[in-house]
Structure 1
Amino acid sequence: MPSYSSNSRPFSGRRGALLVVAILAACALVAARLEPATPQLSGQLRASDGDSFRFGADRVRLLGIDAPELKQSCANANGAPWPCGERAREQMDILLRGQVACTQSGRDRFDRTLATCQSDGRDIGAVMVSKGLAIATDNYAGEQAAARAGRQGIWAGTFENPRQWRDRHPR
C-alpha cells in the first residue's frame, strides 16, 4: 500500500482548501449559466391572439401551440360558425391576468420572443390546448388528445388548421 506524505496529498492544507473552494465556485458559475432564473413578467400584458401576447413593446409567441387566428371562425357540432379566434384571445387574456413567468427560447422570423410561459404556475400552452383553443405543434399531445376526446373548443365541430387558414388569408 502506498504511503503519502502530507506534502503529496493534493487537497490537504491551505492550498487544498483554496483549490476546493475554486472548484466549487466554478461549478456554481456553470450551474447558474445552465439554469437562468425564469423572468417574471409584470405590468401590462395584452393578448394579441390565442398563442401570442405583448409585454409593453415586446411581442411573445408561445412555443408548442398554434391557435386559430383572430379573424378565424370554426363550426360547432351543428355546423354553425363561432368566432374561435376571438375566443382563443379571450382565454389568453384571462390567463395573462395571473402571475406570468416565461422561459425564453430565442426569437422567430417576426422578431417575437419565443417562450414557454406559466400563469400562476399553470403552463399557458397546456391550458390553451386542453380547452380546445389551440392545437399542439410540438408538445401537449396528451392535452390535445383529452380535448379532442372531450370535444372541447375547436374539437366540438370542424375547423381549418390555423397554418392553412393563414396561408389562405395573407395579411
Structure 2
Amino acid sequence: MAGDDIVMIHGQRLALHGVDLPSADAVCTTSGGRKWPCGRHVREELARAAALDEVVCRPAERETAICRIGGIDIGALLVKEGLARASGDYQALEDRARAAKVGIWE
C-alpha cells in the first residue's frame, strides 16, 4: 500500500475508483469505545486478497481504476464491508454498511 487513497497492487500504484480509504495510520473507535487500527486493517485485507487471485484493473475517471480480484469489485467490497467510505458510485453500499454498523461504522 502507498499513500492514503493509493494502493500498490503488483507494483502498480492505483487510486481505487469510488472509495475513500482511511489513512494508513487511522485508528477507528467503535460505538462501544473500542479502538482498532482500521487503516492498517484495510491494507492488510487488500494485500491478503491480492495474494489469493489475479487482480485486474481498468481505468475509470480522474486517474482512478476499478479493480477486481477474482471478478469481485474491490472498491464495492470495501465499502460494503464498512472498510472505506463511498465517494460516488457506491453510496447505496455505504448506506447499508452504516445501517448494519459494520467496519468503520461499528
1:92 corresponds to which residue?
A: 46
Where structure 2 has 5 or more consecutive residues not aligned to the other structure, the ranges are: none
Cα separation, partners in 2 of 1:134 and 1:53, compared to 1, 3 Å = same
Indicate the SS of the match to 2:40.
helix
- Cα RMSD (Å): 1.9
Q: Which stretch shows the higher mean deviation, 84-93 or 122-131?
A: 84-93
Larger relative contact order, structure 1 or 2 (CA cutoff 8 Å, min sep 6): 2
Match of 2:29 among 75, 87, 97: 75
2:59 corresponds to which residue?
A: 104
CA contact (8 A) 1:50 1:128 kept: no
Q: 1: distance between equivalents of 2:93 and 2:61?
A: 25
Deviations 1:35-85 (A, max 9, x none): xxxxxxxxxxxx3377532232x3111011001101111101211221110
Cα separation, partners in 2 of 1:49 and 1:129, compared to 1, 3 Å = farther
Match of 1:118 among 68, 71, 75: 68
Corresponding residue pairs, total: 104
One-letter amino acid of the counterpart of residue 132, structure 1? G
Q: Which has the larger radius of gyration?
A: 1
TM-score (norm 2): 0.86
Indicate the SS of the match to 1:96.
helix
Indicate the SS of the match to 1:116.
strand
Where structure 1 has 5 or more consecutive residues not aligned to the other structure, the ranges are: 1-46, 109-113, 157-171
2:82 corresponds to which residue?
A: 132
* Runs (4+) off by over 4 Å: none
